[in-house]
Structure 1
Amino acid sequence: MAGEQGVKLLGAWFSPFAQRVELALKLKGVKYVAVEEDIFNKSPLLLKSNPVLKKIPVLLHNEKSICESLVIVEYIDETWKLNPILPQDPSDKAVARFWAKYIDEKLIEVIRKILFSKAEEQEEAVKQAKEALEVLEEEVKGKKLFGGDTIGLIDITLGWISLWLGVIEEASNVQIFDSEKFPCLAKWVLNYLEYPFVKETMPPRDQLADFFKNFRWKKRFNVAVRTAEGLAYLHHECLEWVIYCDVKPVNILLDSEFESKISDFGLAKLSPRGKQTLEASRISGTKGYTAPK
């Protein structure tokens, strides 16, 4: 097929975002090479191909790299014309993009919170996820698929709930999706899974469940390691040493990839590089989190 030379997908078997890209490639009949990435030990190729976000998926095509799953899906749709993914009408195309954005912002973001948040925050996130599903339930009512009679952008964007959502519910010990409460979405899932190429991209459920159970702890461990690395940098590698005096959970912020960021330097102290001692008139820090002096 024209334009197919050198198609590679940097992804991971457990990633619903990489699966979106695989679905689009299979729908178009594009041959590609899947390159498995370790998200905890990112390869030089991934870091070179996506130097800004440093995350999967990345599509490599004709020596060009395209990042972000929805951007990649649109690129695939524009490059290979067979089996259109987005509607041709500009108005319909804008609507499809709206719902894809809605799914990512209103559903996926709260699902991430459910995986890693505490009980109270998790309860609120579950509520928000159900509210998002209620909106999608109304949108798919009376339709075989969001894209009509064929799989489209919205179906590809939401397709992960057919497997990943149940696994995440199990790993987090919560219930979000109820087929009786969301009958139209439940029917949509069955229609979506009728396509053989959809099932081909699905990882084994048991394997995925084991991964997510372990993944929660790996992510938490990674937060601790990255925080320690940040403190080590402040204390030993800055041009002027920064002695951080208020390490506690509320001061460790997490980005969308759960990479830790140290915040609140109000109690921090500066020390000339190489100075062996630092004089302080009082103990600094928050009671209960202050290290023994």
Structure 2
Amino acid sequence: MRVYVEKEFMNHFVSLQNKRSKGIDILWSIIRDYAEVVWVFNEEVKYDDFERWEVTNSFITTVSSKGSNSIEFNKNFKQEIEQDTQSLQIILSNKMENWHKDSIPNLLVFYIEDFEKQLEDIVAKFSFRFIADENYHWNGIENLRSSLINEITITDKYIIDKFLQTKEIRNLDQNFIFLLRKIVENQSFRIKLYIKSKDADFGRLKELQEKLEIMSRHTKDSFSEKLSLQIINAELDADFDFHDRNIITNFYILKTGKGFERIKDKKVNTEVECYSFLEKWGYDLIRHRKKMMKEYEDLLINYPNTFSTLSF
């Protein structure tokens, strides 16, 4: 995560250090507790001033004391931000600029006058839980829709299992397509899906590819040709166990024990939980899962003669 800080916002926020609110506490938690954050200050924060403020400014003292954090200086936030639309980026801004109105994926801008409410609203949007067998239609999960999100990863080895066994489109519609309709808003969208396949286990790679091509075509017909789909074999390396079912984006992680299969008549001891990146636990979960997936995907090149990944 990269956080861009304007001097005016920083000074205003420091002046509020004796005020208590949920929004202020959220931002202080990011400053104080979050690891592996790149803090980027604008040109009004000079390097020499920064060294001096490390002693006198609580904002700078705190961010610079975290060993895993990085400190950078950049006078052109816009240019740098537009070069990376995949990473989560935040601007702490004095006022709205014209370019802030552009819909830049994975970018959040918080302003002096209402940052507290903005932060509280995001936590409310991306934080919830429900009992699976009491909410067959998964009501409320629509909150996860956002034009700012352009990629999701689904780790659920069985979400398309019934389709792979039967090739019946209705088995796609009942779970996978149903789920996407709930959470996908942006037409230009990337989906990574970690699966298990009996066809791959028994070397039926041609049959598997044909089924996944049918799945891809139906998914794009249901949404948009701009949607891209990457299917990943989740069981190639014994050192990696993708047991828990997750949906992961930069903004939230959705967790369920049994999986994203809807339950109608069964009674099950599972629940659905969603955590925002503005909760420390959610941020750490997202960071952990993304690291794990990156390490795993880097190893796929070692499996050239079997199904490792297909992109559509």
TM-score exceeds 0.5: no
TM range (shorter): under 0.3
Which of structures 1 and 2 has the bigger CA Rg?
A: 1
User: Structure 1 length normalisation: TM-score?
Assistant: 0.22
Larger helix fraction of residues = 1
The higher-RCO structure (CA 8 Å, 6+ apart) is: 2
